Amino acid sequence: MLAAIVFPYKTGPFMQKSIISLAILCGLAAPTLQAASCDSKFTPVSQIQGQTAESPFVGKTLTTQGVIQAVLYADSKQPKVLLGSLAADADNKTAEVILVPDHEMARLAKVGEHWQLTGTVREFDGMTALTNPSASKLCGKHATQTATAVTLPMQSLEQWEHYEGMLLNFPQTLVVNDSYTLARFGELLLADKRLMVATEVKKPGKAASDFEQQQQLSEIIIDDGKQRQNVEPVRFPTGGLSASNTVRVGDSAKGVSGYLLHTKQGYRLVVNQDPVFVASNPRPAAPAAKAKGELRVASFNVLNFFTGDGTDKAFPTKRGATDAVELGRQQAKMIAALSAMDADVIGLLEVENNGFAEGSALATLVKALNEKLGSEVYRAVLPTERPGSDHIMVAMIYRIADVSEAGKAAVITKAPFDRGSRPPLAQSFVHKASGKTVTISINHFKSKGSCPKQPTADSDKQDGQGCWTPARLEAAKTLTAWLNINPTGTASDYRLIMGDLNAYRQEEPLQRLEQDGWKHLAKPDEVHTSYVFKGRSGSLDHALASPALHQQLKQFAHWHINADEPEVLDYNMEHKSKNQIDAWYQPTPYRSSDHDPLFMDFKF
């Protein structure tokens, strides 16, 4: 009878599945599987792999034997069976595992089984694979390979090929460098150190390129082993991701172990155990209160704060919150951050450019902030000229108890601020404690993205600066010339440029500002970060002062509440379950934006 059928595994996996399925349909138990006699002649796994990225046997049909090391992504459209050598060879340049991308093998094979397979050798998404197995035998049981210890950095990117498919462990403590795809794909980028945007620390061109190539040897993606999007719960960090249990860029990961795969996105490690995450970069408390008599100035990117006021239909707006509920969540996080900074003047970026009347984004922000503080503490700077036609604008608010406006707020809307770079806003303030007048400008230069469709001077020169460098350079030149004519009508030796200049420290726009006499408030040997992009940290947000004001500087810092946090801990509700909408959100400063705010104290 069918239930007594015994497979010597001389048929292919497809035939086996058909018979087993028939048995189940007939109400019978699945057949007993027994080992078969396997051939003594076969091509070892390590020989199929070879010493180079591509197998020397590509396109050939051959027979091999190996031990099932793992079955990965078993419930996906493309499961991956890892077949390891029966015995490792002496050549450390040949990997000891090949890929068998086959649904039937993924369903039938068990870890620790010794199989003989006949199939065609191909390179499958960069991995040497045995495809379309036409004959298979279960030869018995065999010990799986032990983990191979690996340390970062690699000597070359090609070195990863030597470990393809193998179980690796990293005895060193690794550092989290990116969590952008954590919630969607269950991934984290780790490295042996915090990786920097090349042009934050190196001059654009060859120096930056060499630095970045070296950094690529230090990184590896870890994967939760699920090939589905928006998996719940999120596996990392230890205990699962939540608003109070975060994993930040700069945190540590210990006990990292898993199977090395090569995919279209590069090398990744599918973990076989949960790493231990350590909060080496804990969430910072609010900045300490400013000292008596000092002036504190801050810059804060409010991440497209749009109220939709003045439009026929408020939501959805051009940017920002999808609906009123999201707006409330966004506003609560933003106000929590702004109210904790103890700043006398705050420059704001990415505010909806919908005027200054009640209901506008700026008026709504000021009203909410004052309600949080219990009285009218802040007022908005209101220029007489509309700050350009872009959907977003820069703005300023000030604490009326400590500073007062002097002269008239000014904006510049002529080229290059008529498109791309947003019109800067400048205003002079009298610091009441010292009687000194300080002119402050808040700025938002053209971004690096949305490159020209046709080659132009603003195209990416592949020097590390991205697109639109000439546009940002022209913005820097024009800004200096504009501030030199005292646009507020009030002259002062104490002048300040701050905001998102969309350029890193060693890039041309920053270098030009310093050449024109502005003093960066970060010390030359200090590396500051305010933004994380594709696993690299750097600062797009800067403050530069006139020499006279620079001499009065007591403190300059970024408040690291945003860029290091997983993006999904923000106010947005898309692509989240009801549980995640609640569990991943708190009305705290953390992930209130994608940029870290900066603040600086001056003592006259």
Cα 64 to Cα 67: distance, rounded to the nearest angstrom: 10
pLDDT of 563 = 98
Are 19 and 29 in contact by the 8 Å Cβ rule? The answer is no
Are 513 and 496 in contact by the 8 Å Cβ rule? The answer is no
For residue range 200-234, list pLDDT tens digits in order.
999 999 999 999 999 999 999 999 999 888 888 99
**3.30.1490, 2.40.50, 2.60.40, 2.30.30: which CATH number matches 148-278?**
2.40.50
For residue range 146-185, list pLDDT tens digits in order.
999 999 999 999 999 999 999 999 999 999 999 999 999 9
* CA torsion through residues 147, 534, 327, 363, sign: positive
For residue range 35-77, list pLDDT tens digits in order.
557 988 999 999 999 998 899 999 999 999 999 999 999 988 8
Cα 552 to Cα 40: distance, rounded to the nearest angstrom: 82
For residue range 356-369, list pLDDT tens digits in order.
999 999 999 999 99
Give yes or no for residue 9 having a pLDDT over 70.
Answer: no
Retrieve residue 50's tokens. Answer: 């070879």
Cα 391 to Cα 424: distance, rounded to the nearest angstrom: 14
Instruction: Report residue 570: phi and psi, to 5°.
Output: -85, -160
How far is C-alpha 392 from the chain's CA centre?
24
Cα 122 to Cα 537: distance, rounded to the nearest angstrom: 38
Kindly list the distances between the CA atom of residue 436 and the CA atoms of 48, 289, 403, 513, 554, in Å, as whole numbers in the listed order. 76, 21, 10, 24, 16
Contacts of 578 by beta carbon, 8 Å cutoff, 6+ apart: none
Is cis: bond before 416, omega within 30 of 0?
A: yes
pLDDT of 15 = 43
SS (H, E, C) 534-595: CCEEECCEEEEECHHHHCCEEEEEECCCCCCCCHHHCCCCCCCCHHHHHHCCCCCCCCCCCC
For residue range 286-324, list pLDDT tens digits in order.
999 999 999 999 999 999 999 988 887 788 888 999 999
CA dihedral 451→457→460→466, nearest 10 degrees, is -80
Where in the sequence of the chain do the CATH 2.40.50.140 domains occur? 2-141
User: What is the maximal distance between C-alpha atoms in the chain?
Assistant: 101
Name the CATH topology of 2-141: OB fold (Dihydrolipoamide Acetyltransferase, E2P) (2.40.50)
DSSP sequence for 73-138: STTSSS-EEEEE-SS--S-TTS-SEEEE--HHHHHH--TTEEEEEEEEEEEETTEEEEEEEEEEEE
pLDDT of 525 = 87
pLDDT of 35 = 56
Rg of the chain in Å (alpha carbons): 30
**DSSP state, residue 228:** S
Contacts of 146 by beta carbon, 8 Å cutoff, 6+ apart: 167
Cα 28 to Cα 343: distance, rounded to the nearest angstrom: 76
Identify the three-state secondary structure at position 177.
Answer: strand
* Segments in 418-565 forming alpha helices (H): 469-484, 508-515, 547-550
Orientation angle between helical segments 324-339 and 361-373, nearest 10 degrees: 60
So what CATH class is 296-602?
alpha beta
* CA torsion through residues 194, 197, 200, 205, sign: positive
pTM passes above 0.85: yes
Confidence label for 415 from pLDDT (cuts 50, 70 and 90): very high
Tell me the residue type at 586.
Answer: Q
For residue range 468-510, list pLDDT tens digits in order.
999 999 999 999 999 999 999 999 999 999 999 999 999 999 9
Are 191 and 269 in contact by the 8 Å Cβ rule? The answer is no
Contacts of 273 by beta carbon, 8 Å cutoff, 6+ apart: 255, 257, 258
Give yes or no for residue 34 having a pLDDT over 50.
Answer: no
Instruction: Report residue 372: phi and psi, to 5°.
Output: -65, -40
Q: Is 265 exposed, middle or buried (0-12, 13-18, 19+ CB in 10 A)?
A: middle
Count of C-beta atoms within a 10 Å radius of residue 377: 17
Are 596 and 563 in contact by the 8 Å Cβ rule? The answer is yes
Where in the sequence of the chain do the CATH 3.60.10.10 domains occur? 296-602
Instruction: Report residue 394: phi and psi, to 5°.
Output: -95, 160
For residue range 238-263, list pLDDT tens digits in order.
899 999 999 999 999 999 999 999 99
